Amino acid sequence: MNVAVRSTARSLSWRRMLLVAVLCLLAPSVFAQSPSPADNRAQAVTQVVLGILSYARWPTEPAQLRLCIVGPTQYTDDLIKGTTQATGRPVVVRRLLADHPDIVSACDAVYIGKLSVDERTRLFTSLIGHPVLSISEGGDQCTVGSLFCLRVGDEQVSFEVNLDSVARSGVRIHPSVLQLSRRRAPAP
């Protein structure tokens, strides 16, 4: 009779361990939350930025694309992790100050967040004559010097192109991207 009790106790202990193991395996999926709207916007911004970069051509193509984030931003959480373009070219992302002395030699593209008027002026002055693609997170900078200006909405991310800045940048942009910028979001 003692033997039967011990085997029942062992059986219960194995069942408990098995139950704990199954719960540990399932816990991440059970407790995982769906991405927040901010996470979705950050992912959408990453896709748009990578799309723009993939249709840009520099006078000397870099083996790895160096994207610098300048200023405080809202939507770069996903982008800052770095990634690889569809072509297989790695994109190395890092943060720099707007007044970084080597920004032109350290960056093939800059993603610009909130900057003061003076910081923005100094940044664009340093970029003049150098093939550096610039993307502004806010839309109001397109008339100031950015090549691309993102429009981040709840449902989609779109962009505008400053053709004057594109012509002066030394970076060639595929005409398809320029056409995409003319598309408007569907009316609600």
Domain boundaries along the sequence of the chain: 1-32, 37-182
For tokens 């610009």, the residue is 112
pLDDT at 104: 94
pLDDT at residue 121 tops 70: yes
Please tell me the pTM assigned to this model: 0.76
50-86 tens-digit pLDDT = 999 999 999 999 999 999 999 999 999 889 887 888 7
Averaged pLDDT, 124-130: 93
Q: How many Cα neighbours within 13 Å face the side chain of 23?
A: 6
Average pLDDT, the chain: 80
pLDDT at 183: 59
CA distance 158 to 183: 9
Q: Residue 70 in contact with residue 134, Cβ under 8 Å?
A: no
- Which of the following CATH numbers is that of domain 37-182: 3.40.30, 3.90.550, 3.40.50, 1.10.1160? 3.40.50
For tokens 């449902």, the residue is 155
Q: Residue 110 in contact with residue 132, Cβ under 8 Å?
A: yes
pLDDT at residue 155 tops 50: yes
Confidence of residue 177 (pLDDT cuts 50, 70, 90): confident
- Give me the count of residues in the chain: 188
